[in-house]
Structure formats: C-alpha cells, structure tokens
Amino acid sequence: MTGIIARNISIFRKHTSMRLTNSEWEAINAICKREHIHRKTLFELIDMNHDKRISLTGAIRLFTIIYYKNLYTGLPLAATNDDFNNHVFEAIKEIT
C-alpha cells in the first residue's frame, strides 16, 4: 500500500507543504533525474503555468500523468535548439 507523504517545499521563497503518495514522489523524482532538473525548479515552472482553478498539488499530479502519457505515446516534441529535454515544457503546456 502506498501511503500519503507530506513534505515541506519552498516555491519562490514561499514555504508550503504538499501531500502526495510515495509513488507520486518517486515519479516526480524520476522525471527530475531524467530531465536533469531540480524538483524545486520543476515545481516553480508548474506553479507559474498551471490553471489557477487547480491546486498546485493537483497541477503537479496532472503534470506527472501528462508527462508519462506523452512519453508512452511518443508525442512528437516541438523543435527546439535547447539541450534541455522538451518533454517538461510540452506537459506544462497541457496544464495551462
């Protein structure tokens, strides 16, 4: 059984707590490792861009689902000159 884990996080110098299941934290950590991005940076990107009718926790859950769906379905990425993997930005576009 996967329990809920509360963690204190800081987003743009604002401290808050977030409750996600262990599997959700592991999925987020795997995304961050794959994309070479700090979790704080990912959360700040999501916070800046998500639909404000959805809580930050809900937006992070939705982002995670969309990210993995896009990887699984082989969604073509927008052309970019950046070294940064565009999967993060493609998923963020879908939560706005």
The pLDDT value recorded for residue 42 is: 95
The pLDDT value recorded for residue 77 is: 59
Backbone φ and ψ for 23, nearest 5 degrees, come out as -65, -35
Profile the chain (96 residues) by mean pLDDT over runs of 10 residues: 84 91 95 94 94 94 95 69 68 88
Q: Are strands 4-11 and 14-21 parallel, antiparallel or unpaired?
A: antiparallel
The pLDDT value recorded for residue 83 is: 43
The pLDDT value recorded for residue 96 is: 84
Q: Is the dihedral of CA 51, 56, 58, 59 positive or negative?
A: positive
Residue 14 has, within 13 A of its CA and on its CB side, a CA count of 8
The pLDDT value recorded for residue 63 is: 97
The pLDDT value recorded for residue 50 is: 92
